[in-house]
A and B are shown apart, each in its own frame.
Chain A
């Protein structure tokens, strides 16, 4: 278990059987999940799976068709967005174009009628928190995309909400800035200790930033787990292929005992796995497919360090990434090539398409799917 996980923290948001219909379209088909206080929680899934719909219902812009949303032990039915302890960072940032940066950040504070000096101090503090100290008097429309994003964040954080909701906040930024903001956002969340719920379709982003991730498909949560668990033990093929790269191979059980199952895996041959490695409640005879991650296979060159098991194949394609090389290898006895990733250490040769590769792997790297 990662130390970032907070299994003992209390629940701040409780989603219980939440559904949402838009006419005939069932956008959410029963979402049940608990989000813990102070965690960085992500909703991850492909376009159209209902992430935004769920986030908007937590914020109070929409009502569930059925089911309940509880925030901080209070049922949210009938409570409008302006009375909820949540604040949102919109995908478009929704910066008020006719106001200065300071007026944008202080927008929600105005209602609290603080003394002028205190109001000013709060705004300046919020701006400093997002590295925009001194930007207060600037007109909002003169800001860059990254700066707008920070203003939107400061505008939400200044309200000291119980939960900050972020709808794809980084998708409009270029790659470099996005990588940088991912880390900054993560650090900021840790330092303020406020629960963040992030919507994203970028699995890498979710893995990097989150304490826990809910993977959604077609209006349902398929798996809710820590990034590590999601990557190592995806519950099904859909999750497995959405998180990182996964090679799928046909397999069937030939023999099973109390403790082990013997599999006959396409191209890899006979492999024994412990029974505990099967998904909960799955019977050996139901096995028909297994997976192996690209980094769990090694291309052996010049008989260098050996592996538990070795198979041969032909390199179809080579993609060089500087630190890594991704190989497409057609294993003997297999039609579709598998992907293998190798770290480019000093002096290590890169194989060319057409060359023969000896591929090593460990039998405990095999993942069984339902």
Chain B
């Protein structure tokens, strides 16, 4: 439905259902939309990278250094993430805000003279909040991939002369790659389209394309343009995901096969 909508035109109160590409032209050429799309992509790519980089050591620790009750550990690690999404966003707002917990603490400790303002109502806040929100979804696939690595492979690598760092990059990481790719895609896709987080903690600098889509469907009352924006970003995200998928698959195989 969204796709068909995107080829129509909005005339104040009614829809002109003749086929047109005008919405797409506007979506792809208007500097505002382009800027928002690029910012969305930038933010979500950063979110994805940050999330995966945070998730990997956690998953690694549980998989390799916890020997009993791994499931319980995983559960405990992910418990903070099962609270309501909105609640968590507000929580971050309280923590990161101008008079928030973080600033008060830093002021109280005398580490800063005036509240830090770069942490809320901008892209940084969006990144922190989203990375926190999606961490469990990144931890799980990476954990599963790490669990599936036959430990005798690591012993074999050691036996053949590898120290821990070398065997990590030659064995562990390539074999965990499917999990890392899954985590990347799982985080990337929903964060591009997220509109609650940027609205609440992003300020004007932190607004993303999805907020604009929401505006087009709502206040601006131009559903076809909103639909065109939505479809466009869907294609871009899909393309990037496929790119990541194939690129890492090639690297993971080491060129063989």
Residues of chain A whose beta carbon lies under 8 Å from any beta carbon of chain B: 59, 61, 80-82, 86-88, 90, 92, 94, 96-100, 103, 107-108, 111, 137, 139, 155, 159
Q: Is B25 an interface residue (CB 8 A)?
A: no
13 new A-B contacts at CB < 8 Å, known A90-B156, A92-B150: A61-B155, A87-B160, A94-B150, A96-B171, A97-B153, A98-B252, A99-B254, A100-B254, A103-B256, A107-B160, A107-B170, A137-B256, A159-B160
Complex Cα gap A98–B162 (Å): 17
Q: Is B158 an interface residue (CB 8 A)?
A: yes
User: Are B161 and A108 touching (Cβ within 8 A)?
Assistant: yes
| A to B contact number (C-beta, < 8 Å) | 64
Give the Cβ gap from A149 to chain B, nearest Cβ, in Å: 14
Majority DSSP secondary structure for residues of B touching A:
helix
Interfacial chain B residues near A137, Cβ < 8 Å: 256
Complex Cα gap A311–B174 (Å): 70
Q: Is B157 an interface residue (CB 8 A)?
A: yes
Give the Cβ gap from B167 to chain A, nearest Cβ, in Å: 9
What are 22 A-B pairs at a CB distance below 8 A? A61-B155, A80-B158, A82-B160, A82-B163, A86-B159, A87-B159, A88-B155, A90-B156, A92-B152, A94-B152, A94-B155, A94-B156, A97-B175, A98-B253, A99-B254, A100-B257, A103-B254, A107-B170, A108-B160, A108-B161, A139-B256, A155-B156
Q: A82-B163, A90-B152, A92-B152 are in contact. Are A98 and B254 (CB under 8 A)?
A: yes
Interfacial chain A residues near B162, Cβ < 8 Å: 82, 111
Give the Cβ gap from B232 to chain A, nearest Cβ, in Å: 37
User: Are B156 and A88 touching (Cβ within 8 A)?
Assistant: yes
Size band of the interface chain B makes with A: 20 to 34
User: Are B256 and A100 touching (Cβ within 8 A)?
Assistant: yes
Residues of chain B whose beta carbon lies under 8 Å from any beta carbon of chain A: 150, 152-153, 155-163, 166, 170-171, 174-175, 252-254, 256-257
User: Are A82 and B155 touching (Cβ within 8 A)?
Assistant: no
Complex Cα gap A340–B240 (Å): 75
User: Are A82 and B159 touching (Cβ within 8 A)?
Assistant: yes
Majority DSSP secondary structure for residues of A touching B:
loop
Across chains A and B, which 4 residue pairs bring their CB atoms closest together, nearest first? A108-B160, A94-B156, A100-B256, A94-B152
Q: A59-B159, A80-B158, A82-B162 are in contact. Are A99 and B256 (CB under 8 A)?
A: yes
Complex Cα gap A100–B255 (Å): 9
User: Are B155 and A90 touching (Cβ within 8 A)?
Assistant: yes
Taking CB as reference atom, which chain A residue is nearest B151?
A94
Interfacial chain B residues near A107, Cβ < 8 Å: 157, 160, 170
User: Are B160 and A155 touching (Cβ within 8 A)?
Assistant: yes
Interfacial chain B residues near A88, Cβ < 8 Å: 155-156, 159
Give the Cβ gap from B4 to chain A, nearest Cβ, in Å: 45
Complex Cα gap A96–B257 (Å): 14
Q: Which of B153, B158, B161 contacts A96 (CB 8 A)?
A: B153
Complex Cα gap A184–B162 (Å): 29
Taking CB as reference atom, which chain B residue is nearest A141?
B257
Complex Cα gap A159–B156 (Å): 13
Interfacial chain B residues near A100, Cβ < 8 Å: 254, 256-257
Complex Cα gap A85–B253 (Å): 30
Complex Cα gap A118–B62 (Å): 42
Q: A94-B150, A99-B254, A139-B256 are in contact. Are A81 and B159 (CB under 8 A)?
A: yes
Interfacial chain B residues near A103, Cβ < 8 Å: 254, 256
Interfacial chain B residues near A87, Cβ < 8 Å: 159-160
